[in-house]
Chain A
Amino acid sequence: MAGATRTRPTATRPGAAPNDGRRRLLSERTPRAFYWMVAPAVVLFAVFHTLPAIRGLLYSFTDSPGYGPWEFVGLSNYVALLSDDRVRAAYLFTFQFALVATVLVNVIALGVAVLLNSRIRAKNALRGLFFVPNILAVLVIGYVFNYLFANSLPAIASALGVERLSTSILADESLAWVGVVVLAVWQAAAFNIIIYLAGLQTVPEEIYEAAAIDGARPWRRFWSITFPLIAGFFTINMVLSLKNFLQVFDHIIAITNGGPGTSTESISVLIYRGGFQGGEYGYQTANAVVFLVVIVLFSVVQLRVLQRREVSL
Chain B
Amino acid sequence: MRSPTMRRATGVVAGAAALALLSACGSAGSESRTTITLFQFKPEAVDFFTQAAADFEAENPDVRVVVDNVPDAETLLRTRLVKDDVPDVMTLNGNGTFGELASAEVFRDWSGDPLLKEVNPAYVDVVQELGEGAPGEVNGIPFAANASGVLYNPEIFAEQGLEVPRTWEEFVATAQTLEKAGVTPVYGTLADAWTVQAALAPLVPQTQPEDFFEQRFAGTTTFEQGWPEALEKLATLYDYTQPNAGSRGYDDGTQAFARGEAAMLVIGTYAIPQVRTFEPDFEIGSFALPATDDPAATTVVSGVDVLLATGRDGEHPEESRRLVEFLLEPERVAAYAEAQVAIPALEGQVAQDPALAGLQPLIDAGRVDGFFDHQFIPAIPLGPQLQSYLLGGTDMETTLAQLDEDWDAVAARRTWGLGAVES
Contact = CB atoms under 8 A, between A and B. Distances in A.
Contacts of B394: 261
A86 to B, nearest CB: 7
Contact of A278 (B81, B193, B378, B405): B378
Given A71-B415, A257-B192, A258-B384, 6 more contacts: A65-B416, A70-B416, A261-B387, A261-B391, A277-B2, A278-B379
Contact of B378 (A85, A154, A259, A277): A277
Nearest to A258: B384
A289 interface: no
Interface stretch (A14-22, A118-126, A168-176, A201-209): A168-176
Given A260-B391, A261-B388, A167 B381 contact: no
Contacts of A170: 191, 246-247
A283 interface: yes
17 contacts: A63-B415, A66-B75, A67-B78, A67-B79, A67-B82, A68-B78, A69-B82, A77-B413, A150-B244, A150-B248, A167-B244, A173-B388, A173-B391, A173-B393, A260-B391, A262-B385, A280-B414
Interface of A: 63, 65-71, 73, 76-77, 80, 83-86, 149-151, 154, 167-168, 170-173, 257-263, 265, 273-274, 277-280, 283
B409 interface: yes
Q: Of A65, A151, A171, A261, which is in contact with the most chain B CB atoms at under 10 Å from its CB?
A: A261
Contacts of A85: 405
A288 to B, nearest CB: 15
B409 A83 contact: yes
A184 to B, nearest CB: 19
B387 A80 contact: no
Contacts of B82: 67-69
A154 B248 CA distance: 13
Given A69-B82, A149-B247, A262 B416 contact: no
Contacts of A172: 246, 391
Interface of B: 2, 75, 78-79, 81-82, 190-193, 243-244, 246-248, 378-381, 384-385, 387-389, 391, 393-394, 405-406, 409-410, 412-416
Given A63-B416, A80-B412, A171-B190, A259 B247 contact: no
A72 B163 CA distance: 59
A63 B393 contact: no
A73 B416 CA distance: 11
Given A171-B191, A171-B247, A261-B393, A73 B381 contact: no
B384 A262 contact: yes
Given A260-B190, A280-B379, A280-B414, A167 B388 contact: no
A283 B391 contact: no
Nearest to B416: A63
Contacts of B415: 63, 71, 73, 76
A273 B224 CA distance: 26
A150 B414 contact: no
B387 A259 contact: yes
B246 A86 contact: no
A250 B176 CA distance: 40
A66 B78 CA distance: 10
A149 B63 CA distance: 59
Contacts of A262: 381, 384-385, 388
A260 B78 contact: no
Nearest to A264: B384
A173 B190 CA distance: 13
A136 B387 CA distance: 30
A77 B412 CA distance: 11
B246 A80 contact: no
Nearest to B412: A80
B80 to A, nearest CB: 10
Contacts of B192: 257
A172 B409 CA distance: 27
B244 to A, nearest CB: 7
A68 B246 CA distance: 39
Contacts of A68: 78-79, 81-82
B414 A260 contact: no
Contacts of A63: 414-416
Contacts of B409: 80, 83-84
Contacts of B75: 66-67
A260 B387 contact: yes
Given A63-B414, A83-B409, A173-B391, A168 B378 contact: no
Contacts of A173: 388, 391, 393
